[in-house]
Chain A
Amino acid sequence: EAGVAQSPRYKIIEKRQSVAFWCNPISGHATLYWYQQILGQGPKLLIQFQNNGVVDDSQLPKDRFSAERLKGVDSTLKIQPAKLEDSAVYLCASSLDPQTSGGWTEQYFGPGTRLTVT
């Protein structure tokens, strides 16, 4: 079974530039998550989609970050404009619908996109 795909794997940009990341979840997974993992820290949830609707975006810096999942499958995460502190690994994960499993199903993570902002 194919896992979660992400691209690009690495990206280097200058501050104030824009960047976009792409994620293709595991087939049949209704729920998609974007996490930010800063070096030395655990992943932090940025946004959670259920099909093409947003379930939780409470920790998404909405002044510069945006995400969409228009057809309920692929998703893109955009940063505009980037700041130095956005340097991190951006992880996409997907799972079956946790609402049908008492609030949790295993999340499968993609390899991540390593962003460096200079």
Chain B
Amino acid sequence: RKEVEQDPGPFNVPEGATVAFNCTYSNSASQSFFWYRQDCRKEPKLLMSVYSSGNEDGRFTAQLNRASQYISLLIRDSKLSDSATYLCVVNRYSGNTGKLIFGQGTTLQVKP
């Protein structure tokens, strides 16, 4: 079983739709959580951190459920420019440093 699991999709949605991505992680030693965005043939870039209380950044809302080891990302009012692969990432601490573990990514295609 992979340490971080995501539905690879693709998710094909029309502009303006709301779409949700889910992610589960298996290692309870994971201490911090993130969503990264990766455009086709580009490098990953940090989209947002994920907190237990839930956090919002414009049209994006991230949520963490530590008890269920579950992370989500909600995108409202999808734009064409949101088309990308969204990577769920956990930071597993070891000693006094961390190691990022990436999921395989969920591909989103927003269509006009």
Partners in one complex: yes
Query: How many angstroms from the CA of A106 to the CA of B46 in the assembled complex?
Result: 8
Q: Judging by beta carbons under 8 Å apart, are A42 and B105 in contact? A: yes
Please indicate the chain B residues that have their CB under 8 angstroms from the CB of A44 in the complex: 102
- Least CB distance from B44 to A in Å reads 5
With A42-B102, A44-B102, A55-B97 as known contacts, state yes or no: A104 contacts B91, CB within 8 Å.
yes
Query: How many angstroms from the CA of A47 to the CA of B85 in the assembled complex?
Result: 24
Chain B contact residues: helix, strand, loop or mixed:
strand
| Interface flag for B57 (CB, 8 Å) | no
Band of interface residues on A: 20 to 34
Q: Judging by beta carbons under 8 Å apart, are B96 and A45 in contact? A: no
Please indicate the chain A residues that have their CB under 8 angstroms from the CB of B100 in the complex: 43, 45, 107
- Which among B43, B89, B99, B104 is the interface contact of A111 at CB below 8 angstroms? B43
Q: Judging by beta carbons under 8 Å apart, are A103 and B43 in contact? A: no
Q: Judging by beta carbons under 8 Å apart, are B105 and A103 in contact? A: no
| Interface flag for A34 (CB, 8 Å) | no
Q: Which residue of A lies closest to B32 (CB)?
A: A104
Please indicate the chain A residues that have their CB under 8 angstroms from the CB of B46 in the complex: 106-107
Q: Judging by beta carbons under 8 Å apart, are A42 and B98 in contact? A: no
